[in-house]
Structure 1
């Protein structure tokens, strides 16, 4: 099965499930699905009038309605965000027009653990959210998609049997990658040669019960501690924290450069534009481009920290043999930066890159 065949087959399977699903099952899917996945299925679901009004409103906020208030006009939205933005606008208009017929479920956008209007206090609003989209839906039935009982029978918003079926289908697909890299090719590079690089998700700090722990730590962390995160952190556990650091002008340029390579920048050279990148990695590709631009603009600090690919072993190789190069990595990203080379500390958690006590507090907060 090719990746295109998998995309078509998995979408058909999910559409069939959602057509037959109860309002509660659709609500759980929208709440807990991986929003880094293809948005086509959400667009399809948003076009169906039988979708419960509460679920449509939850999808609206989950897709980043609060984030999009910074754009006064549709043309101001960055290209890589336009698909999600278009769905948000379509839901908004249909919701106000009474398109969604279902009235069974309750949902309060101001009182749930997911994205809401208060997520971006520093954001300059250039477009208001209509009052109707802020008001709670008073339904006959409450459905908590994050209840412990849901955890036992659903995975990423899908019944376990269906999730397993999709997983088995995906296992038969060879992802777009270079050849497996053994020691003869990779040398001393520390890589996971048989997998694609990690992905980042759009920031959703309000949905993370551990964000207060992370925000408190990041606000007082030393440049060296921040550098440890950029060198060794697991992106799946700290996607928001790493992106938050990238937006800080106080972050060391060497730290941003370390994170650039640990995101697997070399994997993206076959794609001339962000739109060419597989959808699963398109958001991450945009983050990589922003790092390039910030470094070119001297948008980061110094702190006396250095970075040198000859001395630091990134998680992914700096070159993937066998991959066509349609977009070269800028020369500045290859050049060593003078300063202190920070080695991996034995005092940090080996998975998160956080100090042990902070990693423990984060795990406790997340339950």
Structure 2
């Protein structure tokens, strides 16, 4: 059924009502899948609404808490220290924390361990100065009656963006009614100027620590024999917190395709750094990453990477982090060459690549086993 044209405000209201109706009748497992697989940069009002439902399973509430950036927010001592663009997510995190500790969430069906899942956790920001510690209660695993893996292959086949396929298609049609000429974005949706999969928090890299990583031999063996396309997939989809060393190793290789370096540049959140004129101006938590971004700029300008016939185009392969972050003052503009498309083969998302890590599934499994 064709959806009539919608204004952005009409879309927000209609899509929220559609999702609320679904979540009200959804099973605990369906709500858990939605929270795990939806986009955390879209409709914070919907998550705030869900966080106020006492029937929400404790496991799902705890997963939402960590997914919204609880570890990241530990750097802020007071609410007034939180940047404006993080206010919505921070408020939901604090509300869940309060409700969770009070015993507000009644559901006990599902299990969840915040220290043993592929999403955000307390160890994601090792260089972060903790000024407001996460309460102990939020670190303890929930021993529910059953496990629910929202990243299982069966979920991939039956859900899209955390929603049953029919409902996802209905929402897709509504998005298209707002922006009918939207382009492909690594399989993700775009509504107007909002990239629905854009990450809430800018990614970070950490100083090299290969000697302390029991999974590094697995990664190094793979990286040394990986094809240019596999390296490019890693640059497009890698979880920077889990693969910081691997990504920096790639960036040091003269055999890395220039398009792969450019893809990683955008996926590291280059647009977030434009308000900072110098590296010293960047917040301490992101200063190391800022230096890496500057090195990518310089090396691309110097022709320090290979070609391999690979291309990159922001119009087709939109990064997970916004290329244009609304409302941020520009004190150091992104150099013009970084915006220019690079000719060559555009590498699309592969079914053989692990959704979370960007690694081939067998390598991702071997890495998880090595790291315990």
Whether TM-score is above 0.5 comes out as: yes
What residue number does 2:52 align with? 47
Counterparts of 2:15 and 2:140, CA distance in 1: 35
Q: Secondary structure at the match of 1:152?
A: helix
Within-5 A mapping of 1:210-221: none
1:277 maps to what in 2? none
1:101 maps onto 2:84 in alignment: no
Q: 1:32 aligns with which of 25, 37, 54?
A: 37
Which residue of 2 is the match for residue 92 of structure 1? 97
Aligned pairs for 1:325-344 within 5 A: 333=334
- Select 1:119's aligned residue among 116, 124, 140: 124
Structure 1, unmatched stretches of 5+, are 181-193, 206-211, 222-228, 264-283, 318-325, 338-342, 353-358
Do 2:76 and 2:82's aligned partners in 1 also have CA atoms closer than 8 Å?
Answer: yes
Query: What do residues 248-302 of structure 1 show as CA deviations (whole Å, max 9, x unaligned)?
Result: 9xx99xx9xx969x96xxxxxxxxxxxxxxxxxxxx9x85241452558696459
Could you state the TM-score of these two structures normalised by the residue count of structure 1?
0.61
1:8 equivalent to 2:26? Answer no
Equivalent residue for 2:319?
Answer: none
Cα distance change, pair 304–52 in 1 and its aligned pair in 2 (3 A): closer
Map 1:1-367; keep pairs closer than 5 Å.
1-174=6-179, 200-201=198-199, 202=201, 203=203, 237-238=237-238, 240=240, 288-295=271-278, 300-301=294-295, 305=299, 307=301, 315=313, 333=334, 350=347, 362=360, 364-365=362-363
State the SS of the aligned residue for 2:65.
Answer: helix
Q: Against the structure 1 CA distance between its residues 118 and 327, is the aligned structure 2 distance closer, same or farther, given a 3 Å change threshold?
A: closer
Q: How many residues align?
A: 292
CA-based RMSD? 5.1
Q: Is the 8 A contact 1:2 1:174 kept in 2?
A: no
- Relative to structure 1, the CA distance from residue 344 to residue 107 in structure 2 (aligned partners, 3 Å threshold; closer, same or farther) is same
Pick which of 327-336 and 143-152 moved more. Answer: 327-336
2:55 partner SS = coil
Gaps of 5+ in 2: 1-5, 184-190, 206-214, 225-230, 253-257, 281-289, 303-310, 316-326, 350-356, 366-372
Larger-Rg structure: 1
| Cα distance in 2 between the residues matched to 1:53 and 1:360 | 29
User: With structure 2 as the length reference, what TM-score do the two structures score?
Assistant: 0.60
Distance 1:138 1:118 in 2: 21
